Structure 1
Amino acid sequence: MNVRHLVQRRNYYAFVAIKYVLDCINRFVALFERSRKGELPAITDPLLLESAVSLCAKIKKFEITCEDVIRAYIKRIEQVQPVINAVIDTRFNEAIEEAKQFDNVLRNGSSQEKNALLDKPLLGLPFTCKDSISVKGCNFTAGLMSRKGIKAEEDAPVVTLMREAGAIPLAVTNVPEFLLFWNSENPLYGRTKNPYDLSRIPGGSSGGEAALIASAGSVLGIGSDIGGSLRIPPHCCGEYATMGPIARYARDLPSILKVITNNSPKLKLNEEVDLKRIKIYYTDENIGNPLVTPVSDEIKQTMKKAIDYLSTRYGIVAERIRLRELIYSMGIFSAAIKLKDPRTLAESVTNGNGTINPVHELLKYMFGRSNHTLGIILASLMENMSFSKPESDFGKYCLQMSESLKEKFRQILDDGVFFYPTLPEVAIKHRTIYLKSFDAHYTTVFNILELPSTHCTFGLSKDGLPLGFQMITLPFNDRLTLALAIEFEKTFGGWTPPCSIHLPQ
């Protein structure tokens, strides 16, 4: 064994020891977060259990009104918000008026006016957005104290597209400070809780969206994803999501994706997918990074269940692959992000008003005086370390690994899909996330590689928490992962309500 290999081996075992200590601390911290299950109010309105596709069809058949749907979701938000704290602003009155206008045209408008409305693919459907996507007149803060009181002056382009398709914005939802961590907690609006167990995180940064949608407080959500922000939340809260939309039902995703991409012909979303022709590749383990949590048996069994089904039903033989470059996922992400945007986090969180001193902020945090979360402070300290800089030797090596990985996926995923854990375990306890930061390793790299991903949910664990994994494919092949998600939903059931259902007789 040469000296280099000996040093690498010693470093590996040092990191194993560090991980062990961090996990021990987390287990101790978790003791103070007592499980709180079954506190969400029951679902009593059958409209809340309908998919977006179904609701839209019933509106167009005059079986229900737009106002019926909007009022049902407003009532549900009012019921669940005190429990999960997912919403940071609402536009209920405006939404009701917009729904009434649609209904009036459908009842009394000219044939031309009616047909124009009936052509809208999302007619009368309420939707919500995370607090980084502007909805005119609503709070627009990204969870930053430095943006307190700022209202959006106009709709984001994606909100405009949704409105043009007939959808009605209903509320804006919570995010972590500056959208940085995969919880959803900030100094402005506090902590969003997971509806399946209030002691656990809902994921982030689209955690408010995921928690609200899982609680049947929204039928459609719009988020964003830089390093897992639209995959980690549905993993924690049991929904489906692809790059842009998030929903309880997989069958709703294609309709939303068509709208927000202007039905781009590159995506070929109108083409039927022959599942028998899809090649499946998978990795169900951490590829050797000692700081990353190993994949739990339940996540592995969930992936195996999906793979076995495809083998039995369609004769697909999944191939297990091991790409060593995935060890460097977090390094690839850190170096690539810094290369694209050299601004420091300490600058970014002040909304253009100077910089923060992370050491001073850490001291202030210890005495409850900081305007920033522990995650932002720790990340500000970490970004000054050499390994996160693209000009460092390690940064350059990670960027080389990124190119190698991109080329391997390009060769492998021609008409193929890669199954990979979204997270290695179910939703974790509040306050334990900071010592598990490297677990974002499972999602971050695919954003840098510009590979689309769809998270698919598969029911609940033995502890009643959502299980699932992500499916990755080549650019513009989203239809493959969406088709698989819809197939799995039909077979395994998908979203499981986090509360009881008491419908009127």
Structure 2
Amino acid sequence: MPEKWEDIAALKRNLLLASIPPDWFLPDAIKPPDSQLNVTRFPAESRFFTSRELELTSLGAASLLEKLASGAWSAVEVAEAYCKRAAVAHQLTNCLSETLFDTARSTAAALDEHLRTTGRPKGPLHGLPISLKDNFNIMGVDSTVGFVSWVNQPATYDSTLVQLLRNAGAVFYVKTNVPTAMMIAETVNNVFGRTLNPLNRALTSGGSSGGESALIAFGGSALGVGTDIGGSLRIPAACTGIFTLRPSFGRFPTLGAKSGLAGQEAVQSVNGPMARSLEDLVLFSKTVVEARPWLADPRCLPIPWREVSLGRKLKLAVMWHDGVVMPTPPVRRALRETVEQLQAAGHEVVEWRAEGHERIAEILGRFFVADGGKTVKSILDPVGEPWRPEMAYYKAASEMGVAELWKLQAERTELCKAYLDRWNGVAGLDGILCPTTPYASVAHQDFKYVGYTGVFNVLDYTALSFPSGVTAHRELDRAAAEAHAPLSDVCAEISGSYNEEAVHDMPVNLQLVGRRLEEEKVLQMADIILKDLGMHAPSRT
């Protein structure tokens, strides 16, 4: 290995590119120029993909599984098509960290043989290509988590979730890019560089699961898995207009996944699915829970999958803003129009005040740097890797003493109890509807605030980020941009940098929040809401 960190990173990037078959490199004659911001139509319009490859990569995960389980489509041909599409996605958005193309082919071939000889699929995910965020360990493969010193340090074991999904018949074919330590709301690091948003490459795909969101939005994955400790699933889903579920800790296994802040447990990281439909979130969630992960991960809760029966009319609380940052005009408009549609459909909507949100968000930030940035520094130092500017908060942090940390954790618990009491005080409240982020998306390096997601990490509430069906519009949103007084300094900064031209036509996600450990209920609430918004594909709950 080279000695300089720059050379180590360059070698890793070159090896990643070298793992792509020569036939899958885009010829200059058809490669979109950097000035072409939206590249999501490239697969269909470029003729670089055959009609068969487009067909194989066009379905959601649940529909794709029907083809695979019946033998109508082979696992090998599906895997090959997704490998190629992911390779192209990487060339246009820089979304991958590892390719597993040969492994995917051999796994798929074994699954096809199993179906041929037994007449039965191996499991509920038979032959389904699943993309994984970089921190999920696969034996023999790096999990750099954006650190140069973790290059060429292949995992010696599989994450528990990887084992579970493989046993269910999944095919792993790529791992996706993350920010340094997975602690930035935008996906950029010193190893692989910056991931771009395929809907608009001048904008961020979010973080820390931004490689996943970019790949899925491009159509290079039918179902991916990311993680969330402050919004790392919901933010990238919002930036690219896809679906994701942030479960409460203990529903899905986290054992064996790599972390840039290993041992930080004042607020727990969780993992969850990312997909282009609600149906596929249900598919993943039900499959994982029905595999009884509590028998493999000691911190998983033994809660079987529960059937939930909700009435057609919900009682929802709307939180227009969190008292710290006013959402940008497209998000405000999306929330208002959504509430109006739900009220017209007969749902009861009440107001929700963001009491405690500012303090909870402050506590979350202090938990992240309780070690004074020492853990991150200890990973950077072995190869002399410099701090990225996005990590300045960690670099400047002072270590917190144990007594101070315990005091802060006690305050956290008090705030969680106060929030629970407020929820209990609203009779029959099903969930909270609010922004996922202040933005539709935002220019690279301009993501400034994670309070809308991070608060629910501290509370450990189940939360779903979903596309509202509203898109940003330069004319509709321009007037609103001029009619709002900032709530704080960061609010003024975000409002001042808002650019209606830059985000024109970007999708706007909203966030649906349920109580702790209410994954089944939140998914069903979302199902009802999507029907009444007129943008529903039936889910199989």
Q: TM-score scaled to structure 2, two decimals?
A: 0.73
**Quick check: 1:280–1:419 contact (8 Å CA) kept in 2?**
yes
- Counterpart of 2:360? 329
What aligned pairs does 1:384-395 form with structure 2 within 5 A after superposition?
A: 384=398, 390=404
In 1, the alpha carbon distance for the partners of 2:427 and 2:132 equals 32
Shift in Å, 1:413: 8.3
Q: Any idea what SS the aligned residue of 1:242 has?
A: strand
Which of 450, 453, 457 lines up with 1:440 in the alignment? 450
- Counterpart of 2:103? 94
Q: 1:336 to 1:394 in 2, by over 3 A?
A: closer
- Counterpart of 2:220? 217
Q: Any idea what SS the aligned residue of 1:49 has?
A: coil
- Counterpart of 2:519? 478
Shift in Å, 1:327: 2.5
Q: How many residues align?
A: 430
In 1, the alpha carbon distance for the partners of 2:112 and 2:83 equals 17
Letter in 2 for 1:276: R
1:395-442 CA-to-partner distances (Å, cap 9, x unmatched) read: 976664444224323554866111111101111101223xx2xx2111
Letter in 1 for 2:461: L
For structure 1, the residue ranges without an aligned partner over 5 or more in a row are: 1-33, 357-368, 496-505
1:144-164 CA-to-partner distances (Å, cap 9, x unmatched) read: 122122212221111111111
Stretch moving more, 302-311 or 259-268: 259-268
Higher relative contact order (CA 8 A, sep 6+): 1
Shift in Å, 1:493: 3.5
**Quick check: 2:147–2:380 contact (8 Å CA) kept in 1?**
no
Q: 1:412 to 1:348 in 2, by over 3 A?
A: farther
Q: 1:393 to 1:152 in 2, by over 3 A?
A: closer
Letter in 1 for 2:519: D
- Counterpart of 1:458? 468
- Counterpart of 2:296? none
1:225-266 CA-to-partner distances (Å, cap 9, x unmatched) read: 111001000000111101211111111111111222336697
- Counterpart of 2:488? none
Shift in Å, 1:128: 0.9
In 1, the alpha carbon distance for the partners of 2:443 and 2:281 equals 29
Matched, 1:176 2:179: yes
Q: 1:310 to 1:266 in 2, by over 3 A?
A: farther
**Quick check: 1:329–1:442 contact (8 Å CA) kept in 2?**
no
What aligned pairs does 1:248-263 form with structure 2 within 5 A after superposition?
A: 248-262=276-290
1:118-173 CA-to-partner distances (Å, cap 9, x unmatched) read: 5x111110011111111222221111122122212221111111111111111110
Instruction: Choose between structure 1 and 2: higher helix proportion.
Output: 1
**Quick check: 1:84–1:193 contact (8 Å CA) kept in 2?**
yes
Q: Any idea what SS the aligned residue of 2:202 has?
A: coil
- Counterpart of 1:280? 316
In 2, the alpha carbon distance for the partners of 1:446 and 1:35 equals 38
Q: Any idea what SS the aligned residue of 1:198 has?
A: strand
**Quick check: 1:331–1:395 contact (8 Å CA) kept in 2?**
no
Which of 380, 384, 390 lines up with 1:375 in the alignment? 390
Matched, 1:114 2:133: no
In 2, the alpha carbon distance for the partners of 1:211 and 1:346 equals 31
- Counterpart of 2:269? none
1:443-462 CA-to-partner distances (Å, cap 9, x unmatched) read: 11111111111111124322
1:340-361 CA-to-partner distances (Å, cap 9, x unmatched) read: xx4332333423968x9xxxxx
Q: Any idea what SS the aligned residue of 2:379 has?
A: coil
Q: Any idea what SS the aligned residue of 2:142 has?
A: coil
Letter in 1 for 2:97: I
Q: Any idea what SS the aligned residue of 2:522 has?
A: helix
**Quick check: 1:144–1:349 contact (8 Å CA) kept in 2?**
no
In 1, the alpha carbon distance for the partners of 2:354 and 2:427 equals 13
Q: Any idea what SS the aligned residue of 2:230 has?
A: coil
What aligned pairs does 1:395-414 form with structure 2 within 5 A after superposition?
A: 400-412=414-426
Letter in 2 for 1:284: W
**Quick check: 1:177–1:372 contact (8 Å CA) kept in 2?**
no
In 2, the alpha carbon distance for the partners of 1:175 and 1:91 equals 17
In 1, the alpha carbon distance for the partners of 2:349 and 2:280 equals 27
What aligned pairs does 1:262-301 form with structure 2 within 5 A after superposition?
A: 262=290, 269=305, 271-287=307-323, 289=324, 292=325, 294-301=326-333
In 2, the alpha carbon distance for the partners of 1:266 and 1:273 equals 21
**Quick check: 1:453–1:472 contact (8 Å CA) kept in 2?**
yes
Aligned identity (percent) is: 25
Which of 425, 430, 454 lines up with 2:444 in the alignment? 430
Letter in 1 for 2:226: G
Q: 1:95 to 1:429 in 2, by over 3 A?
A: same
Q: 1:413 to 1:83 in 2, by over 3 A?
A: farther
Letter in 1 for 2:290: N
Q: TM-score scaled to structure 1, two decimals?
A: 0.78
In 2, the alpha carbon distance for the partners of 1:458 and 1:267 equals 30
Letter in 1 for 2:192: Y
- Counterpart of 1:16? none
For structure 2, the residue ranges without an aligned partner over 5 or more in a row are: 1-33, 45-50, 247-271, 293-300, 474-503
Letter in 2 for 1:351: I
In 2, the alpha carbon distance for the partners of 1:195 and 1:275 equals 38
Matched, 1:127 2:136: no
- Counterpart of 1:344? 372
- Counterpart of 1:145? 148
In 2, the alpha carbon distance for the partners of 1:316 and 1:458 equals 16
**Quick check: 2:131–2:212 contact (8 Å CA) kept in 1?**
yes
Q: Any idea what SS the aligned residue of 1:329 has?
A: helix
